[in-house]
Chains A and B, each alone.
Chain A
Amino acid sequence: GENVEQHPSTLSVQEGDSAVIKCTYSDSASNYFPWYKQELGKRPQLIIDIRSNVGEKKDQRIAVTLNKTAKHFSLHITETQPEDSAVYFCAASSPGSNYKLTFGKGTLLTVNP
């Protein structure tokens, strides 16, 4: 089955700096890659996703890049703000796994004012 590795497990940055979180996946047939943000005590919320037919997607300060050859994808947050502090999860799914989402272990991002 699919295996998703996420790094780093914790990340601390100064406000205004950029943050990058990386994930690798094992199933070359995976074609959908969402990123979820979970603030303390709250539900995971989808913040951005990308499909395998594109290499990059942006939404304001958030961007995701996908390298299908290397089987990795990354979340980029620019101009970080304290409210970006949360746990971020990557995930991958493929038709072969019945579109089941396989999640990474999460990255705790702390943005220091």
Chain B
Amino acid sequence: ETGVTQTPRHLVMGMTNKKSLKCEQHLGHNAMYWYKQSAKKPLELMFVYNFKEQTENNSVPSRFSPECPNSSHLFLHLHTLQPEDSALYLCASSQDRLSETQYFGPGTRLLVL
């Protein structure tokens, strides 16, 4: 499937590194989301963008910094992460903020050493 793509698929980083996750959607959607998926926990919504404007920050630590330059692209900039930040980071998109049906990307598996 190529509707929502994410790169890289796997990432290992040290606590002092800076890296970025990229998400791209080819569905013509206007809303994009970042989720964190950890073992034995529900999917946690991190950020929401609607028409390039951030509409939600779910009390996410500042070491995670999102960027949405246009409706098709979403980035998550990472710096000075902690080992407990290791997880699968999923991007999703929907037609707009009022459309509940979300389409997910394959995720980036992040390991922080």
Contact = CB atoms under 8 A, between A and B. Distances in A.
Q: How large is the interface on A (under 10, 10 to 19, 20 to 34, 35 or more residues)?
A: 20 to 34
Interface stretch (B12-20, B40-48, B67-75, B79-87): B40-48
A98 B42 contact: no
Contacts, number: 49
A45 B97 contact: no
Interface in A85-113: 89, 91, 93, 98-106
Secondary structure of the B side of the interface? loop
Nearest to B50: A98
Chain A interface mostly helix, strand, loop or mixed? strand
7 contacts: A43-B104, A43-B106, A44-B90, A91-B43, A98-B56, A100-B48, A101-B45
Interface of B: 1, 4, 40-43, 45, 48, 55-56, 90, 97-107
